[in-house]
Structure 1
Amino acid sequence: MMKATTGITDLHCHTNASDNTFSVEEVVRQASEAGVATLAITDHDTTAAVPAALRLGAELGVEIVPGIEISAYDFDRKRRAHILGLFVRPEHSSLAQLCAPTVELRSRLSQEMTQRLAAAGYRITWEGVRRYAADGSSVYKQHIMNALVDLGYADELFGDLYRKLFSRGERGEPGIAYMPMRYVDARDAIRAVLEAGGVPVLAHPGQLGNFEAIPGWVDCGLQGIEVYHPSHNVEDRGRALHAAAEHGLIVTGGADFHGGYGDSGWPLGSIDAGPECMAALRGQVQLNKVR
């Protein structure tokens, strides 16, 4: 679903509280300038940017949907999964308790990655890397690569050097900076979103290969599916729409905006979830309250 002329609803966006190069203030202002009427702030494993986004959104006429994107795992099929929580209560303890270990582990592993690179001869320091994530909840591989690019080791963030250093080793040896990450169970992520008053949505299932898990996750409370996403091709969108119809899931979409750490071909507001999606989400929030 491509960009509409007015009243855009973009339900997947990050800030530098996680892995966007832009601050929450810059993101909300860009959304306003792009004609986005409704924007979900869905940082990875944190809602830290939501209060500021709500304040600035009120000033600029952009409705902010309080959200989160929980980094999760399908332990039955051994693959990653991302669960969006839309209309969550950002201060709710269920989100903090579930996500705090992920946030802490991510930064600790990033520090170990940085130390490995320094030991391998790269002129990189943990203090230097941390500066790129000064306003964030965690340090990401993107911040390490940003430091390497600025030090002259590469011309782009996600090119040959990134693949060489951080490869999981699916087609050979893992990269020297690859560190396996532990994630929470996707079912626990769904439950936490529900406990926080939100609507749990399966993010970009085509990208992570999550279609087979949908029936089981619906049984534990999944209520939406992200159909329109930059990573989805025609087949992915078709499969996601079929799953939505089969299981009564709300169809959502968003640009998954990461600023300089994302795909520049998909700026804020380039995917519009539409008014029907917002109406369905609002209705589901009310239904969840009476359950």
Structure 2
Amino acid sequence: MTALDGAIDLHSHSTASDGQYPAEQVAERAAAAGVAVWALTDHDSVAQLRAGRAAAEAHGLRFVPGIELSVHLDKREVHLLGHFVDPESAELRGFEDLLAEKRRVRMGEMIHKLAALGVALTPEEIEKFSGGKTLARPHVARAMVERGIVGSVKEAFDRFLGEGRPAFVGRHRMPVEDAIALVRGAGGAATIAHPGLNRIERGDLERMKAWGLSGVETYHADHVPSQREKYLKICAELDLVPTAGSDFHGPEVAPGRKLGMVSMSEAELERLEARRG
């Protein structure tokens, strides 16, 4: 690998899941932000990885194909990132189709709950914000913003769509050990996303390492310095790779998260790639 001149950002989203921009525009923005290595990690979807790779090559970026999976650790939701996955993996494609159908059913349940609250949205109003098969709560929130029901995506979650709010509907999630096996079976390396946001502790990471976890997203856009220090220490103790991700969705969805705002070392990237399944 030649020396890199730019940031390494291993966490971003396109319209294949809940991002604001298609993969081509995310790649363009990554290049403009000084990113050298860029991963596209859509929720439960590999639909735009082919387009992402082509766009990355056009902008001189090294592309890391990825995915983000919503999974269960005991009774908690956590998010698992897969990096260097094979976009043509039959297992990933099959899982994507299964999740897309379950998300569509879930969206119908949310529409029904919102209607009971006096908020009438149609599937078409929501689906126009999705560039792929995956429908997610931010698509509902953006439809609510467009209608003037709320002023922001955050307000939609705070009032209606967040866990415990009146229009919340839980989603299908697989056990984290099964998700790690899925990622590794697709040739990827599994990393736990934003552990500070999900209150992941050392014991949790020990268990997940035994199941094949390769790394921890230590340098996340929302982690404060003390959280980064905490997970760096755990990574050193457990021989896990500390990774970096802006978790970019676009300013309408997640304002404040900018591509390339966090980074990791080239040596850490090489260690992560060496741990592919």
Equivalent pairs: percent with the same residue?
A: 33
Alignment check: 8 A CA contact 1:228 1:252 kept: yes
Shift in Å, 1:222: 0.5
Shift in Å, 1:180: 1.8
Q: Comparing 114-123 with 269-278, which one deviates more in the overlay?
A: 114-123
Taking the aligned partners of 2:254 and 2:129, their CA distance within structure 1 comes to 19
TM-score, scaled relative to structure 1: 0.88
- Give secondary structure in 1 for the equivalent of 2:98: helix
- Check if 1:144 corresponds to 2:144: no
Taking the aligned partners of 1:59 and 1:168, their CA distance within structure 2 comes to 40
Q: Aligned residue for 2:254?
A: 263
Alignment check: 8 A CA contact 2:46 2:96 kept: no
- Give secondary structure in 1 for the equivalent of 2:275: helix
Taking the aligned partners of 1:220 and 1:122, their CA distance within structure 2 comes to 43
- Give secondary structure in 1 for the equivalent of 2:196: helix
Shift in Å, 1:176: 2.4
Alignment check: 8 A CA contact 1:11 1:273 kept: no
- Check if 1:230 corresponds to 2:213: no
Q: In the TM superposition, what whole-angstrom CA distance separates every residue of 1:205-248 from its partner, at most 9, and x where no partner exists?
A: 11112223111111111111110002212232122112211111
Alignment check: 8 A CA contact 2:244 2:263 kept: yes
Taking the aligned partners of 1:80 and 1:254, their CA distance within structure 2 comes to 19
Taking the aligned partners of 1:281 and 1:8, their CA distance within structure 2 comes to 16
Shift in Å, 1:261: 4.5
Taking the aligned partners of 1:253 and 1:113, their CA distance within structure 2 comes to 33
Q: Aligned residue for 1:21?
A: 20
Q: Aligned residue for 1:184?
A: 174
Alignment check: 8 A CA contact 1:41 1:50 kept: yes
- Give secondary structure in 2 for the equivalent of 1:226: strand
TM-score, scaled relative to structure 2: 0.93
Q: Which runs of 5+ in 2 are unaligned?
A: none
Q: Aligned residue for 1:214?
A: 205
Q: Aligned residue for 1:244?
A: 235
- Check if 1:165 corresponds to 2:160: yes
Q: Aligned residue for 1:121?
A: 118
Q: Aligned residue for 1:172?
A: none
Taking the aligned partners of 2:162 and 2:57, their CA distance within structure 1 comes to 42
Q: Which runs of 5+ in 1 are unaligned?
A: 170-174
Q: Which residue identity is paired with 1:7?
A: G
- Give secondary structure in 2 for the equivalent of 1:260: coil
- Give secondary structure in 2 for the equivalent of 1:238: helix
Runs of 4+ with >6 A deviation: none
Shift in Å, 1:277: 1.8
Alignment check: 8 A CA contact 1:115 1:126 kept: no
Shift in Å, 1:53: 0.9
Alignment check: 8 A CA contact 2:45 2:134 kept: no
Alignment check: 8 A CA contact 1:98 1:192 kept: no
Taking the aligned partners of 2:132 and 2:272, their CA distance within structure 1 comes to 28
Q: Aligned residue for 2:152?
A: 156
Taking the aligned partners of 1:220 and 1:261, their CA distance within structure 2 comes to 36
